[in-house]
Structure formats: structure tokens, C-alpha cells
Amino acid sequence: MFSEGNYGRKFNASLYNISVPFGSLVEKTAREKILTMQKNYPDAQFYMFSNDVNFDLSTLVIFLMAVSTVTIGSLWSGYAKQNLRIRKETGLEGVNSRMRDEEGIKSQDGGGGEEEEISVRVSPLLIMFFVFCMCSMLVLLYFFFNQLVYVIMAMFCIASSLAMYSCFEPLVMATYALPLPVLRLPRINLYICRLDLEIRQLLLLLISLTTAIVWFIFRKTDWSWILQDFLGIMFSINMLKVLRLPSLKICTCLLSALFFYDIFFVFITPLFMKDGKSVMVEVATGHSSDEQLPMVLRVPHLNHDPCYTYTYSLLGFGDILVPGLLLAFCHGFDLMIGTPCKIYWVLSCICYTLGLVATFISLFLILFLSPSRNTYP
């Protein structure tokens, strides 16, 4: 076949050995293949073709998980703060607490203890230090992801298993009101904690640890997202229950600092980082590693578009915990002053829900309207 070049000269295309490598996202190893091609051909342009952009049910699943987690966590936090306030003001203990003391069975999560504070003692300076630590950790993950990802996984397994125990322990403690035999275990004194368990508490602890270990072992399987999301929800609810901020001033400082933190690491860092990459996006997606940070809720795309096979919709824990702390404060404030219908907490929940909806609509429109949406340099 003869073609005419830019200057009117004819050349025979069959004399040239032209190959166009391609990859399909239908394959499980598509990510590794595309990254390999990008490494072998650094000056090449990569294009992805998709017939259209359709709404995916995975977005709805993540939306429901996020709203449910924030709602449950803020509710629990408000009631826990109110109960502590009442106990400190009156010096009274609940009936169930007295019954447990008589039986010698105590909660192991530290909740309801006399030493527990109503709110975490936080200052604006401490918030700035906390945000600085987050920035430092994110930068370290960007440059040393392959080494630190396993540290984060180990921390996630420990924290999520303890959170699962803490979330389900009230159900176990409620069973002691039933006429069932009580089998106390010998007290265990460790360097970092002291365990004084009954057999039901021990079973819950073993189940919690086993769940986290099973996720770690099978984290690369197709169904591991279910365990990761479950553990992530338990972790988020427990964090909202434990971290009770003392004032609206502190909430405002924290949310404002993290607002600029997100803007900088998502939109500003591509302006001066190598290859114009976002630090936040690179860390969240795992760089070129086959590992991924577990600090996200993830749901596989549920439509039948082959371009989205074996890919996931993601939502970071920060999008749950940060606004959740404000909602927890609003609920505690409603309970403290007795506002009708818990108006501050209800309005905050509605605003959080509308904010998530606006975020998902914006992402959908950007993907649908962007003229370069199918180009990946």
C-alpha cells in the first residue's frame, strides 16, 4: 500500500515494521502490563477507549457506607460523651455497670472508665503539629512506598481488629444479664496492656484478630474488598467514638487545616513534582506497586463495561473521619443543651450527605465532559 507523505513523496508502508502495543482492562494483570509498557516506552502516548460513561452502582454502595458510618459513629460519640458528662456531674454509675462490677467482669476497651475524659484535650497548636505529621507521612509514603506500605498494613490490622472488638463488646457485655455460666480467665499482665477477660470476651478478641489476619493474607483476592470495607467501617466508627473534640473552634481549625492539606497535595504538587504527578493520588493508588494502602473503602465497579473490569471505586477514610468529628461534636452539643429534634446534628448530616452527592456528581461530570478523558500520557 502506497501513501503520500507531508511533502508529496510516496512511500510504501509495507516496508516499515510498525507495531502498536495495546492492553485491555478486562485482564486482571492489565495494570501491570500498562505500567510495563509505559516504562518501556517513556515517550509514548497511551489512550483508553470507552464507548460512554455510565453511572456505576459501586458509587451508590460507597455513598451508603460512608453516610451510615458517619451517622452511627457520630451518634455513638454523642451518647458516650453525654453519659460521661452525667456520670461526672452526678457521680452515679449505671445499673449494668454495677452488675458487672459485682460479677467482676469489666469492659476491656476503656470505655466508661473513671479516667476517661469527656473530650480530648486539643489545642490549635497540637492540630498544626498533627497536620504537619500527616504531611510528613504522606511525603515519606510517596518516596518510600514499597517499604512503608507494609508498616501501614500492620498498623491497620492492629487498629481495625481492636476497633472491631470495641464496637462489638457492648453486645457481649449485654449477654451477662442472661442466666448463662460465667467463666473468667486468669489475668494477663503485658508490658503495654492488662487483660482481664471472660471466655466470651476472649472469643470476640480472637474473632477480631482472625478477621484482620484473613484480610491481610487474602488481600489480593477478588473478595478481599468486603473484609477491608468491614474493618474500615469498624475502624472509623471507633475513631469517631473515641476522638471527641472539645469545641467548635478546634473543629474549625482541624477542618480548615485539612482543607488546605488536601488542596496542596492533590492540585498543587503536580506543578512541581516529577512527571506532574499528584502526591496524594500516587500514594492512594499505590504508585507502580501491586500493593495498595488499606486506608480506603473500595467497591468493585458493578456495571458490565469491560473498561472497568477489576477496577474499584475508592473513598478515603479522611472523607469519613474528618467531617464525622464535626457531626459527633454537633450531636454531643445537641444532647448537652437539649436542642429540639437534635437540629444541629440533623442539619450537619444533611449537609454531609449533600456534599458527598455533589462530589460524586462533579467527578462524573469531569469524567464525562473532559475532552482528554480518554488520554493517559
355: Cα separation from own chain's centroid: 17
The residue from 56, 109, 229, 319 that is catalytic is 319
How far is residue 373 from each of residues 247, 286, 351, 368, 370, measured CA to CA in Å?
43, 21, 30, 7, 5
Q: Answer yes or no: 262 catalytic.
A: yes
DSSP H or E stretch at residue 178 = none
Can you tell me the distance from the alpha carbon of 321 to that of 246, in angstroms, rounded to the nearest whole number?
16
276: Cα separation from own chain's centroid: 25
CB contact at 8 A, 182 and 103 = yes
The residue from 262, 275, 305, 334 that is catalytic is 262
Look at the chain and count its residues. Answer: 377
C-alpha cell, 232:
474500615
Q: In which residue are the cell numbers 442539619 written?
A: 347
Q: Answer yes or no: 319 catalytic.
A: yes
Greatest C-alpha distance within the chain: 99
DSSP H or E stretch at residue 312 = strand 312-316
Which residues are catalytically annotated?
262, 319
